[in-house]
Copies of this chain bind each other. A is one copy, B any other.
Amino acid sequence: MALIGILGGMGPLATVDFMAKVVQLTDASCDQQHLPMLVANLPHVADRSRAILGDGEDCLDGLLEGIDLLNRNGVGLVTIPCNSAHHWYAQMLARSDAPVLHIADACVAAVPDSVRRVAVLGTGGTLVSGFYQAALAARGIEPVVPDAEMQQEIAACIHEVKAGALKHAAGHLALVLDKLAAQDVRVAVMGCTEIPLAARHLPDSPLALIDSSLELARATVSFAVARGWNRPQ
Q: How far apart are the CA atoms of A16 and B17 in the complex, in Å? A: 8
Interface of A toward B, CB cutoff 8 Å: 1, 9-13, 15-16, 19-20, 23-24, 26, 28-47, 69, 72-73, 159, 162-164, 232
Contacts of A30 in B (CB 8 A): 47, 159, 162-163
A31 B19 Cβ-Cβ under 8 A? no
Given contacts A36-B43, A41-B38, A73-B73, contact A31 B16 (CB under 8 A): no
**Cβ contact of A28, chosen from B33, B41, B164, cutoff 8 A:** B164
Q: Which residue of B lies closest to A165 (CB)?
A: B29
Contacts of A26 in B (CB 8 A): 12
**Cβ contact of A19, chosen from B10, B11, B16, B40, cutoff 8 A:** B16
Contacts of A33 in B (CB 8 A): 43
Q: How far apart are the CA atoms of A61 and B211 in the complex, in Å? A: 39
A37 B39 Cβ-Cβ under 8 A? yes
**Cβ contact of A16, chosen from B1, B16, B162, B163, cutoff 8 A:** B16
Question: 15 A-B pairs, CB-CB below 8 angstroms?
Answer: A9-B37, A12-B26, A16-B19, A23-B164, A29-B162, A29-B163, A30-B47, A30-B163, A36-B41, A37-B41, A38-B38, A38-B41, A38-B69, A69-B73, A72-B73
Contacts of A45 in B (CB 8 A): 31
A23 B31 Cβ-Cβ under 8 A? no
